[in-house]
Structure 1
Amino acid sequence: MNEQPRITDTLCAVIGSYLVKGDGDRFDADGKAALAATLQPFVEKGEPIELVLPGFPFKSLNFHAKTSGPKPDFGEVLALRRLEEMCAALDAVYGHGVRLTIVSDGTTYNDIIGVSDADRQAYNDAVRTLWPSRYFRWSTATDLVGHSGSPQELRTALVEQAALPYADLEAFKTAVQADQGLSAAHDRMCAFLYNDLRPQLADDLDEDAYFAEIREKAYEMMIRGLALNAGVERAFPQAVRLSVHQYDNAGPKFSFGFLPGLAHVSAPWHKVPYRHLDGHFSFVDHARIDAEHTLAVYRGDQIWLYQESDAAIDPAIKLSIVKPPQFGLLVELDAPEKVKLLTPRLTRSLSDFFSFICVRGCHFEEREDLVDYCLPFGDIYQWHFGPVHVVQPEEKPKGFVQSLEKTPIHWDLSMLPLDHDRVKQDEWFCADLFMLYCKAPPKKGEGETTLVDGREILRQVGPETVEAWRNTHVTYNTKMTYFGGHPRTYPLVHAHPETGEPILRYQEGSKSEYQTFSQEVQGLSQADSDAFVEEMNRRIYDPKVCYAHPWEAGDMVIVENYLTLHGRNPMSEASSMRELWRVQTIPDMPVADRSAAE
């Protein structure tokens, strides 16, 4: 039986699920067949599928109404992440590879919009570094025309090579005015330009002059758009054509949705990214942000994203990303009591997204005060010494945690004994959140808490390796009586108990004189196990995924324990005063299970 039609149908279904389908959409009626005809030659030859998307030009300069600044922000990350997600889904069912060429088309239009060539180039350079992907290739106007040159020379060459059926711009205007379809397209272009151009045009222009300027620029935008289209068709004649504009998806162009569930095309370079409390994102006009219930998260001096709050916000609280694109959030308070403005729902939402939060400027006088703060987040784990684990160097350490040595990378409550009530109920039981409060910091440059972005490691290795890691089991062993002294075996990857997303579960070994911690990869020879462990250790300390938090007195770090791994850098005697208070929250036990455990 020939499997090619079935594979092509599956590929069409995958791509179709990422399209924006508005009223009158024709993908099912006509577009699916057109897309299948484009895909079929790749399938027949067993060659990588080629896709092309012109877009990611520059940010709209209307920073009040539409965007928040000239640099790419988390909106572009969301768009690139969704493109990668589609490519990975295609790759998973096809197996011969997928390549997506993104044509940065800003050179085509930036002079019309009023964006300088320097700002366009800065945007173009920055956006390429936001979300590196093995599926992406980046292209520019230089590639379309086949030679280099100044931006204006490239624009001229693009139009000349298109060989459009118009002698010049005036002839094109005449053709537009005589054609109902082109005239309607010109009207839509004028409407689009109305907001983008207003901040760039002279303040003393009256309304008639303003509209006249827009009409002229709309003609120029249209003819260059036709030239761009011709250039893309010449350069990528066989590729599946994705678009950032609204079409009915009958083909040959298909409107890509940069967010799921869109009814209309929305692009991040015309909007700001807005994260809702339930975790989903929207692209919204900057002017529509509700300042009283929205937190601005910064990356340096730019707004990185907006976050919905379930309570009125205080503008004096500053939020900034720790490690772009989304690992860690620094929240700076100007008064300790303002920690209460971070409601449990908001804090949970932030920790789910950023993996950890550092709230700087807290003050808990007594350990009970920290416990009271943590109570709304869930059940608190009770050690034999109580709910607060005081982590500080001891004169006679019982293990590496109480020493000045490094603490290996791990996740909290990983090595509980097998006869523990909660472990008997759930073999993967561990803390879901834990809070570390800095009562006294170490010497600067020592004793930092290391935090590892498990999400990013899994993205880097790709879906095939993630799937293999689900079946890779590692046995860990330590003789610390504190943990019961029982070896524990975990898959390297298993599912987040709430979201279902894959999570990384790995612990670093130790040969400390205070506490040994061994690892053994099941089913491998000792040499292969050692090599695997060495590779994992390299991955968890890669600067792209590992952050060392420098403690300040009053810092409270809230860590999502499923999404991160953590440890501690070594210290000298000069840091013997370091004192952290740790409280762990744990998932609620079902009533039936709780009574059985009791």
Structure 2
Amino acid sequence: MAPAAVSIYLSDDSDLANSISGLVVERVKGVHTAVTEIHDDSQSDSEETLTSRSTSSPDVLGDFSIEAEHFRLSFDVLNVLEKYGTHIGLSDTATPTGHAPWSGKLRFLPHVYYHISRSSPVQLTMPAFPCKSLNRENKVLGHLPDLGEELALRRLNAMAKDVKKIYEFGAMVNIASDGVLFNDVLGISDQDCWDYGVELQAIIKEKKLEHIRFRPCMSVLGFICDDGLTEKAFLDTAHLCREELETRFAPTEQHLTELIKSDKDTMLTYCGMVKFLQSEMETSVSLKGLGSSARIRLYKKTAKKMMRRSEAFTGAIRALFPHHVRLSMHPSSGASKLSIALIPGADGGFQKSPWHSCVAVKSNGQPACVHSEEVRDTHDLILKDGRPYFFRERFR
């Protein structure tokens, strides 16, 4: 049933505003009237024709009523998603409290509307949860997921559950695992990526995270269906995923370099990647015998290679799932994706990703994503099922 009054306004400078008119649907004593707002005065003749045609056709009136309700729900869903976002203002250096508006909000209106108009779950996709860090001496607790991944998955599931509170078909968060895109560059085995994914799915099942779907790269690309993925199939197709993405979707190195110079989000990702690799490759044998300048060159080269594959995966997701809302666990302006802090810090901002850190639970219960070397002497290591799961601050 349509609400008593629904108004939808679109930004004048939005591409969306050029293709979708604002709708106002009123229900008065059981009689529907529809008015299409056309802001260009030169189109007044069209307005009169459409209005007279609409008010004389019950079928068209019914369509307007349904569309208006779908638009209202779409905006409501976007509002829920925005509450989970943390973005950097387009003109600011940083917004640590995460109150910058989601600049790409209207961009995803057609994506959400697509699913709502079909009475199906809103599909969200996040490339993430690849594998545990290469630096297992100083950063993480091992090669399997721990409390960090559990908390991150719970947050994503909570977001989808909040969508279901206002839209009966809810939302589905697709985890597009990108481990096999980067592991060979860093020296992590395909077997480790498989083991990591198996344990992630075990967490999803154990915690009844019904709005999360884990999808390895070969499933995303359509090489193997989700239900038919075995360990052997995973290991046999890992290299094919890398080849397929680089051949079909990866930008050239020159194009990536230009993007780093001209695009704010790409620049932020690149700088963050170079900084990250300094600790990620700290124990890598590839650094042995290299001076500081040579190491920096290696970090930059590795960062660009990883970003090319990341861009390829993003392109593949965009091409294969054009109606999915793109999620990201990296800081961004929000112009082309919804950036989510998987485990928000005390200020609501981003922390280290769960697969590149471990969780240290403070005495007040606040989880902090830290490197293991930072807390191993001041915190107690807590086990789950016989393996390290998180650190807990010691009471003094």
TM-score exceeds 0.5:
yes
The share of aligned pairs that are identical, in percent, is 24
Which amino acid counterpart does residue 354 of structure 2 have in structure 1?
Answer: P
AA aligned to 1:139 is R
Q: 1:310, 1:108 → 2: CA distance? A: 42
TM-superposition CA deviations, 1:486-538 (whole Å, max 9, x none): xxxxxxxxxxxxxxxxxxxxxxxxxxxxxxxxxxxxxxxxxxxxxxxxxxxxx
Task: Please point out which of 314, 318, 332 is paired with 1:229.
Answer: 314
Q: 1:72 aligns with which of 138, 142, 145?
A: 145
Structure 2 CA distance for partners of 1:50 and 1:215, relative to 1, 3 Å: same
Q: What is the identity, as a one-letter code, of the residue corresponding to 2:239?
A: Q
The answer to whether the 8 A contact 1:57-1:105 is kept is: yes
How many angstroms does 1:86 deviate by? 1.1
The alignment status of 1:277 with 2:350, answered yes or no, reads no
Distance 1:7 1:31 in 2: 18
- Give the counterpart of 1:194 among 278, 281, 289: 278
Question: 2:218: which partner in 1?
Answer: 142
Cα deviation digits, residues 531-579 of structure 1 (max 9, x gap): xxxxxxxxxxxxxxxxxxxxxxxxxxxxxxxxxxxxxxxxxxxxxxxxx
Aligned equivalent of 1:288, options 374, 377, 382: 374
CA distance in 2: counterparts of 1:259 and 1:96, whole angstroms: 26
Contact 2:175 2:215 in 1 (8 A): yes
CA contact (8 A) 1:255 1:265 kept: no
Q: Distance in 1 between matches of 2:146 and 2:163?
A: 27
Task: For 1:150, give the aligned amino acid.
Answer: T
User: Any runs of at least 4 consecutive aligned residues in structure 1 with deviations exceeding 3 A, and if so which?
Assistant: 1-6, 24-27, 171-188
Taking a change above 3 Å as real, the CA distance of residues 83 and 29 of structure 1, as seen in their structure-2 partners, is closer
Task: Check conservation: 1:142, 1:154, Cα contact below 8 A.
Answer: yes
Between the aligned partners of 1:184 and 1:263, the Cα distance in structure 2 is: 16
Instruction: Name the structure 2 match of 1:56.
Output: 129
Compared with structure 1, are the counterparts of its residues 184 and 301 closer, same or farther at alpha carbon in structure 2 (3 Å cutoff)? same
Cα distance per residue 1:330-383 (max 9 Å; x no partner): xxxxxxxxxxxxxxxxxxxxxxxxxxxxxxxxxxxxxxxxxxxxxxxxxxxxxx
User: d(CA) in 2 for partners of 1:228 and 1:136?
Assistant: 20
2:74 is equivalent to residue 11 of structure 1: no
Shift of 1:283: 1.4
Query: CA 1:27/1:4 → structure 2, altered by over 3 Å: closer, same or farther?
Result: farther
How has the CA–CA distance of structure 1 residues 67 and 3 changed in structure 2, closer, same or farther, with 3 Å as cutoff? same
> Against the structure 1 CA distance between its residues 300 and 207, is the aligned structure 2 distance closer, same or farther, given a 3 Å change threshold?
farther
Q: How much has 1:140 moved relative to structure 2?
A: 1.9
Alignment gaps of 5+ in structure 2: 4-67, 89-93, 225-235
User: Offset of 1:176 from its aligned partner?
Assistant: 6.2
Offset, 1:303: 1.6
Distance 2:173 2:263 in 1: 35
Q: Deviations over 1:98-146 (max 9, x none)?
A: 2221111101111112211111111111111112232222212213333
Task: Say whether the 8 Å CA contact 2:103–2:333 is kept in structure 1.
Answer: no
SS of the residue aligned with 1:103? strand
1:217-270, CA deviations, whole angstroms, 9 ceiling, x for partnerless residues? 1121111111011111122110111111111223x3111122245312532101
Q: How many residues align?
A: 305
Structure ID, larger Rg: 1
Cα distance 1:86–1:187, how it changes in 2: closer, same or farther (>3 A)? Answer: closer
Instruction: Report if the CA contact (8 A) 1:21-1:249 is conserved.
Output: yes
How far has the Cα of 1:273 moved from its partner? Answer: 1.1
For the aligned residue pairs, the C-alpha RMSD in angstroms reads 2.6
1:125 aligns with 2:201: no
What are the ranges of 5 or more consecutive residues in structure 1 without an aligned counterpart? Answer: 312-598
User: What code does the residue aligned with 2:199 have?
Assistant: A
Q: Distance in 1 between matches of 2:149 and 2:108?
A: 26
Q: Which has the higher contact order (CA 8 A, sep 6+)?
A: 2
Report matched runs for 1:312-391 at 5 Å. Answer: none
Whether the 8 Å contact between 1:144 and 1:158 is mirrored in structure 2 is no
Q: Is the 8 Å Cα contact of residues 86 and 99 (structure 2) preserved in structure 1?
A: no
* Partner of residue 240, structure 2: 153
What SS does the corresponding residue of 1:3 show, helix, strand or coil? helix
What is the deviation of 1:305?
0.9
